Amino acid sequence: MDKLKERSEVNASDKWQIEKIYKSIEEFNKDYTWVEESFNTLKQLVKKFLNSKEDFSAFFKFDSKISRVIEKLSVYANCKEDEDTANTTYQELSSKIQNLYAKYSEIISSVVPNIIKEDENKILSYIDEDLESYRHMITSILRQKKHCLSSDNEKLLAAFSPVLGSASDTYSYLTNADMKLGTIHDEENKEVELNESNFSRYIRSKDRRVREESFEKLYESYAGVKNTIASLYGSILKYDSINAKLRGYTSSLESYLNPNNIPTALYNNLIKTISDNLEPLYEYFELKKKMLGLDEFHLYDGYVSTIKSIDKKYSYEEAKSIVLDALKIYNDEYIKKLEEAFNNGWIDIYPNKGKKSGAYSTGSYDTLPYVLLNYTGEYNDVSTLAHELGHSIHTYFSTSNQPYETSSYVIFLAEIASTTNELILSDYMYKKATAKEEKLAILNERLDLFKATLYRQTMFAEFEKNAHDYVDSGNIATCEYLNSMYYDLNKKYFGDKVVVDKDIANEWSRIPHFYTPFYVYQYATSLSIACYVAQNLINQTPGFKEKYLKLLKSGGKDYPLELLKIIDINLEDNKVFESAIDLFKETLEEFKNTYLEK
């Protein structure tokens, strides 16, 4: 294994050019000081912003100016800290930005409540041509008017929110710090301590005893604190239910979807469409059972690979060529930006000592859309490169074609461009592959993506809806109810030919996403949309490429479902979800045929 370099030893050509933001800390501090000194002006503007059209305009324009600089400072500080997390200088910069954000948030905290309180016609009369870029943001605030409480009640709820929201922090402390998962015996029969990190390795072990033992030990540990976790999650459910009722929503689900103008029918349609099409998933599990040579297929058998691992390595230069060639189905404008990303310092490529793990895309209106990688030459690294560049090109097109106020796209749309690139790359790599093992590896990765994202996340979404609906109806979500309901969902999604082990009833209690309610469904919708987009691009549907690029350039200028109409998508019907299911079926059939080849 190669020794990791110090950050100072990494070639400049392999680093992102963060210095394009600030050449020195002195330059950073100059902007930081300007923001701090500008807070007094911002405070004065907040006090009088509703007095007149001129005051209204002055506040929003100055607020944008400050916000842009804070975001620019944040990108620099966070990227520099992530280059070497042990560097105390950049730790300090990152902490300073957190404090700056907190001060800024406190200053403008009364703006939204005051807009909502004010006469709607008066607010709308303030939005002239000069403030047109703010219209969507302001009208989105006004949409929430009927769901707002009196000023005193809003203050009361705000004061209690840290207490009411502490369940998530308590859950995190319990599961990440206080809980001990015990020990298991690894493949060499050595006793090892089980934790959440190595569980993902042991559940994929070729040794079935290890898989079973780690599965049972993990859920046995969660069963030991089941009532505590049920109480924590129950408090989230109860708070959401009370909050929804107080604000006049028909359900907790509606209260979470309404701010982005997403109807509950979409959420329900996702669950129904996937639930009506579980047969391909059952077929997938049956195939895995045969390939593994098992008499019974248990849940702990679901993660072990059925194919030989591929040792093929890709140099970074090879990865660049592959990604550029795979994505040439886009137009010249897209490819030129990809080339710019590779050649002009957008990407921080290799691991180094202290560098943040994983990969991400980041940027602001006034910076490049940077990409952090930890590239080691695996196929997954090539896929990650395409994925993160999907984010960055989306960000570039949004910031280049929208005013600052409408340049940010919402989470609902965020994973579409990245996942589309992954699927296009997968299709490209499969068509280029000549060895049977390589083809199987690519298809297997795609199948795993669908299993983990389309099906599993929809099962999670159904669990969340059931739990919230149960409490909305006046019931108490006990541990017994949550375990029983989750177990029944597993039986539904895995089917009769899989042994649904009783221990899985406790799995819901180890899913941290449930403490950010109604978030996970967006993974399934994003993959579904990405399948639709990728298939249209690969098949060169006339006019679709231009429509898709128009979507990428639209930022957040409208609600997500309105923007998706640009590419002829209506998520309240089944078309997009069914296209994802069809791609899963096709991939599964191709996998079977390839596996059976001599």
Catalytic residues: 388
How far apart CA 64 and CA 70 sit, in angstroms, is 10
CA angle 409, 523, 102 (to 5 degrees): 50
Q: 């309240």: which residue's tokens? A: 572
Strand partners for 347: 371
* Torsions phi, psi for 371 (to 5 deg): -130, 125
Phi-psi region of 363 (alpha: psi -120 to 50; beta: other; left: phi over 0): left
* Torsions phi, psi for 370 (to 5 deg): -75, 155
Contacts of 396 (CB under 8 A, 6+ apart): 337, 369
The DSSP letter of residue 149 is -
Residue type, 492: K
CA angle 378, 584, 358 (to 5 degrees): 30
How far apart CA 372 and CA 83 sit, in angstroms, is 9
Contacts 24+ apart (CB under 8 A), 164-172: 164/235, 164/239, 165/239, 167/232, 167/233, 167/235, 167/236, 167/515, 168/236, 168/515, 168/516, 170/232, 171/229, 171/232, 171/233, 171/512, 171/515, 172/512
Number of C-beta neighbours around residue 253 at 10 A: 24
**Which pair of structure tokens corresponds to residue 95?**
């902490």
Contacts 24+ apart (CB under 8 A), 442-445: 442/379, 443/587, 443/590, 443/591, 443/594, 444/305, 444/306, 444/307, 444/591, 445/379, 445/380, 445/383
Angstrom distances, CA of residue 476 to CA of 216, 243, 332: 28, 16, 57
